[in-house]
Structure 1
Amino acid sequence: MRRHKGRLHAFARRHLGDADAALDVVQESFVAAWKALDRYDPARPFPTWLAAIALNKCRDRGRRLKVRRLILGERSIDAPGTPDYADPASGPEDEALRSERMAGLEAAIARLPDQLKEPLILTALEGLSQQEAADLLKISAKAVETRVYRARRRLADWLAGA
């Protein structure tokens, strides 16, 4: 768990846009992995198997939130939190600007539809190859490439308009 929790948390945070929800997903993912350990295929990389579990947990959480929002409407409790990343070398103004930009980017990534968000996070942020992401998402490598391109274009448009 120590070896993989940081990477899984970063993945889930990027997918969900909420650091606290990401912690829950990481815990749920490790519990699910423990229960499914007998079904793990040693021919596949273990971190990729864990990422697939975390991805499914993120999707489950997203579906639950959509249902909750449909029933209850928009509530501030559902608003994504913004993580605080401090850089001791920068001044307060630089840090505030950087934090604001990072929060805007994370919020924009969280707003992407899952079909665009997932390939972007897996390839650009998690460092998986297009083929590894394609295998994980059960789509072609060309579909991953196209979706990453579309996600980047949409993010650029949103951030330029903001």
Structure 2
Amino acid sequence: MVTDPAICARAAGKDRAAFETLMTATKSGLFRFVRRYTGDNEDALDLVQETYTSAWLAIHRYDPARPFDVWLRAIALNKCRDWGRRRTVRRWMRHSVGLDAPEAAHITDDAPDAETLVDDRRRLERLNMALRDLPDTLKAPLLLTTVDGRSQQEAAHILGITTKAVETRIARARQKLAIAVSF
């Protein structure tokens, strides 16, 4: 986590070098978080780039007294939610248009080819798919605490909910994932 208030203050003043320092310090953790959310490396790279672009454009609204990574994670979470909504629309279009329609050729299929995966890879893929398909209300607290290593209190602050709600949602998410992977 980036805690140097001087760098954060310089970044908030549109100092590009300070912002790049913050990017360097946060990029691997941010990528892990987004990768777990999307289940796909390429989508995660795109969303991380979108997150940093949005952060730079909104840097004047950043309060340097607050942790930069918490602010950045909130932006990333919004980007992930938007991505999930777009993915839902693509799936709906694919099913409603039909596979033979010309429009279907322009809609990408995000499903992995299960025949090429070994047994261990299949189990990991089931877990990634189950994680990706979790409702956002369960997915976000789980990823913030397990992948990002944040406390439940920090996750509650980022999500704007109580610590008890975070605890409950993590438990529910783990139950759903355990069921999905056991099949």
* TM-score bucket (shorter structure): 0.7 to 0.9
Q: What are structure 2's unaligned runs of at least 5 residues?
A: 1-22, 97-103
Identity of aligned residues (%): 51
CA distance in 2, matches of 1:34, 1:139: 26
Q: CA, structure 1 residues 80+22, in 2 after alignment: closer, same or farther (shift >3 Å)? A: farther
CA RMSD across the alignment: 2.1
1:145 correspondence with 2:145 = no
CA distance in 2, matches of 1:15, 1:72: 22
Select 1:33's aligned residue among 47, 52, 55: 55
2:91 corresponding residue in structure 1: 69
CA distance in 2, matches of 1:14, 1:144: 18
Select 2:65's aligned residue among 38, 43, 53: 43
Task: Report the Cα offset of residue 79 of structure 1.
Answer: 1.8
CA distance in 2, matches of 1:48, 1:158: 30
Instruction: Provide the TM-score with structure 2 as the length reference.
Output: 0.74
Corresponding pairs, count: 149
Q: Secondary structure at the match of 1:66?
A: helix
Runs of 4+ in 1 over 4 A off after TM superposition: none
For residues 70-95 of structure 1, what are the alpha-carbon distances to aligned partners after superposition, in whole Å with 9 as ceiling and x for unaligned?
Answer: 2233878342569xxxxxxxxxxxxx
CA distance in 1, matches of 2:95, 2:49: 27
CA distance in 1, matches of 2:128, 2:92: 23
Q: What are structure 1's unaligned runs of at least 5 residues?
A: 83-95
Task: Report the Cα offset of residue 97 of structure 1.
Answer: 4.9
Higher Cα radius of gyration: 2
Give yes or no for contact 1:13–1:22 (8 Å, CA) kept in 2: yes
Select 1:128's aligned residue among 150, 167, 173: 150
